[in-house]
Amino acid sequence: MFEHAQKAIELAEKLGADEAEVYISYNHSISADIRKNTIESAKENVSQGIGIRSIINGAVGFASTNNVGRIEDVVNISVSSAKVRDSDPEWTSLPSNAKYPEVSGTYDKRISKIGLDECIGLTGKMIEGALSVPGVNTTSGSFSTSFNKHLIMNTNGVEIVDEGTGVSGFVDVITTKGDISTAYDFEVSRSLDIDVFGIGASASSLAIRSQDGISIEPKKTDVILHPFAFSDIFENTFEPSIDADNMQKERSSLIGKKGETIATSDLNIIDDGLLEGGIETSISDEEGTPSQRTPIIEKGIFKSFLYDNYTAGKDNTSSTGNGMRHSYVSSPSVGPRNLIVEYPSSDVIADTDEGVFINTVIGAHTANAISGDFSVEARNAFTIKDGQIDKPIKSLMLSGNIFEMLNKITGAGSDVRKVGGTVVPSLRISEMSIVG
């Protein structure tokens, strides 16, 4: 399909497009799935497709297909869709060719050569890890590897090809004796360096430790959120608020807050498209703007929204390299790259006299994405007493507001995890409201 890019651009111009852009992605993945302690199935998927943006008088049309035979049709449709629309005076232009940074740790040639047999071997190790803890079954899980390649080409001279690899392992477990308790664990990486045995063992150990939970009284207390719990809440509340598109449409609580202190002074949050081995690392974003490192919160002060090329044009600023796509089927919109949350680390549990440790939450997507209010069910939660994890808690609701939380962070662990693109340690937040 890649060989059709140039011709598609030329056709769009011929049909009357002032500017045109082609995005082509190719993905090859192999995975093995677990069902009740057995490796049940193998999957091999090859997917590729092309998305075309045509711009006429600042009006954008977009169309896409996975069918080489229909590329001409989609070019036609993207041009005719642009013609239906009124001119958008706020459109500036597609990104121009630029100097692109080098990135590292995004391609592991061992992954591009991996076969099903090795995938199955690694999946088996994950099950072994889970079953190394007595009294637990793996209910489901998966190990997968992928190779991706994408091309961005436009009429302003951008022509980028980037390749990368990825690997992921996850497992769900349940206890088989006594009180029913579940847990999960997962790791994602760009290299073949994840500890599959460890993923299984840690999920199982957590499920066992969570058995026979106690009830607790509603109160306000110190809560330590594991990277899984924190990132789940963070992605559904904070991330939408730093999206320049939401800000421009008055759907962000951070409107007008640039330069203001919005968090505790020890907190830094950085959007980093260049992070070594980052899940969202690439030489450019998905419309051809070079990747960069953008401070979002520096010493508690709100520094910047995230911009793609269009929203940057609207605000007379430069794109921060955050023009992202869900796939070739969608045109770019603002999306975070690797969002790194930094806070000075300590032995955070040992430093906590009394509180609650929460591993995961369910229902974070029901949060109010603008106000940042959320109310979630905490899973695999424990009481903390005298600096130690004490007893499991059966059922617990955690409520709060992300912007209030940012001012109440009082500690962090040294257990930084890559939860997809969110890179974060366990964080302690004071005066969180819990209902048991």
Partner 1 sequence: MSEVGFYDVRMIDATSTSIVLDNGNIEEISVNYSKGCGARALCGGSWGFTTAEGEFDLKAAIDSASELAAQMNNISPKDEVKLKPVEKPVIKNIPTAKIDPADVPIEEKVQLLKDIEDHAKMDGVSSTSAVYSEASVNVHYISSEGIDCEYSLIRTGFAISAVATENGSYQVGRESRFGVCGFELFEENDALALARSAGETAVELLGAEQAKGGTLPVILDPELAGVFAHEAVGHASEADLVLEGSSILADRLGEQIASPLVNIIDDPTLHEYGYYPFDSEGVMSSKTTIIKDGVLNSYLHSRETAQALGGTPGNSRAQGYSEPVVRMSNTYIDNGDSNFDEMLEEIGNGMYLTGSRGGQVNTGEGIFQFNAEKGYLIENGEVTRLLRDVSLSGKTLEILNNVTLVGNDLKMHSGRCGKGGQLAPVSDGSPHISISKALVGGV
User: According to CB under 8 A, which residues from 74 to 113 bind partner 1?
Assistant: 74, 77-78, 81, 84-86, 88
Nearest to 432 by CA among 348, 349, 355: 355
Nearest to 64 by CA among 329, 316, 347, 412: 329
**Binds partner 1 (CB under 8 A): choice among 120, 131, 188, 389:** 120
* Of residues 169-208, those binding partner 1 (CB under 8 A): 172, 174, 176, 180-182
Cβ neighbour number for residue 300 with a 10 Å cutoff: 18
Nearer to partner 1, 176 or 318 (CB): 176
Q: Tell me the two tokens of residue 200.
A: 């299984």
Nearer to partner 1, 3 or 86 (CB): 86
Our finding on whether 401 is near partner 1 (CB under 8 A) is yes
Nearest to 267 by CA among 155, 143, 367, 405: 405
**Binds partner 1 (CB under 8 A): choice among 330, 345, 346, 430:** 330
Sign of CA dihedral 97, 98, 99, 100: negative
Q: Tell me the two tokens of residue 132.
A: 């190394």
* Of residues 260-289, those binding partner 1 (CB under 8 A): none
Our finding on whether 400 is near partner 1 (CB under 8 A) is yes
Nearer to partner 1, 68 or 214 (CB): 68
Q: Where are the alpha helices (DSSP H) in 43-190?
A: 71-84, 109-112, 116-131
Region from 115-123, 153-161, 297-305, 318-326 binding partner 1, contact rule CB under 8 A? 115-123
Minimum separation from the CB atom of position 408 to partner 1 (A): 14
Nearer to partner 1, 62 or 197 (CB): 62
Region from 189-197, 293-301, 375-383, 385-393 binding partner 1, contact rule CB under 8 A? 375-383
**Binds partner 1 (CB under 8 A): choice among 3, 250, 353, 386:** 250
Cβ neighbour number for residue 76 with a 10 Å cutoff: 18
Residue 222 CA to chain centroid, in angstroms? 27
* Of residues 131-150, those binding partner 1 (CB under 8 A): 137, 139-140
Could you give the CA distance from residue 331 to residue 346 in angstroms, rounded to a whole number?
A: 43
* Of residues 19-78, those binding partner 1 (CB under 8 A): 32, 35-36, 38-49, 59-70, 73-74, 77-78
Sign of CA dihedral 95, 99, 105, 107: positive
Our finding on whether 309 is near partner 1 (CB under 8 A) is no
**For residues 162 and 285, is the Cβ–Cβ distance under 8 A?**
no
